[in-house]
Amino acid sequence: MDQSRRQARLERNRAQQRRGQLKWLVYISIAAVIVVVLLILANQVKPAEARTYQQKDGTSIGDPNAPVHLVEIADLQCPFCHRWYSEVEQQIIAKYVDSGQVYLTIEVVGFLDSGTAESTQAAEAAYCAADQNMFWEYHGVVYTNQAGENQGAFRDDRLLAFANSLGLDMDAFRSCLNSNGKNADVLAAEDFAASHGIDSVPSFVVNDQDPPYIGLQTFDQLSAILDAAIAAAGSN
């Protein structure tokens, strides 16, 4: 009888162990699924709104012989630069660039690096996209996928995913990004900004003249500035 009770107790213990192991397997499986889902979500790319860009040339757009050259100094991590892209850029292009009055260039800098190099990395990636004449589409996707400054939104794998979502030549893009060859372009953009006393974004330079226009400019503000510059160019 004692042996039967011991055997029964042993079987119960074994059953409990099996149930415990099964629970751990379930927990591990659930955790693995969660990790996979999070990785998938982290690598999803939100598409930018559809826009048509005419006369693209690297980071510039429009007629290079236009009477006014507008240069924006931008950091792709900057939320105010995103606002300019979302609310003002397309209006400026439609009214002034497409009409041949303004030649627009974006100089991409890495001002907002803090503990990471995400601004610089994103800038280099944008210049890599410019090599395939896809800068304008790329900067739109980058802005659309902002997720806080220096929080990992612009890791190299994300920058590659942005390029892939646009159908870029990934071998060429990856090689460009991994070489850090575009760091010289970022430094040149920062030198241009420094030459005009610019240390914040977005800022704007009209016809390479000082003073620059620092901070977010509304469409109405920029329209007044550009109208005056166009008028001045026409009177010369």
**For residue 114, what pLDDT is reported?**
86
pLDDT higher than 70, residue 2: no
pLDDT higher than 60, residue 224: yes
| Alpha-carbon radius of gyration of the chain | 27
Residues 6+ apart with CB under 8 A from 81: 72, 74, 75, 143, 201, 202
Q: State the angle between helix axes of 170-179 and 118-131 in degrees (0 to 180), rounded to the nearest 10.
A: 140
* Preceding amide of 79 cis, omega within 30: no
Q: What is the pTM of this model?
A: 0.81
pLDDT digits (tens, 9 = 90+) for 3-21: 677 777 767 777 677 776 7
What average pLDDT does this structure show over 96-109?
Answer: 98
| DSSP H helical ranges for 43-87 | 79-84
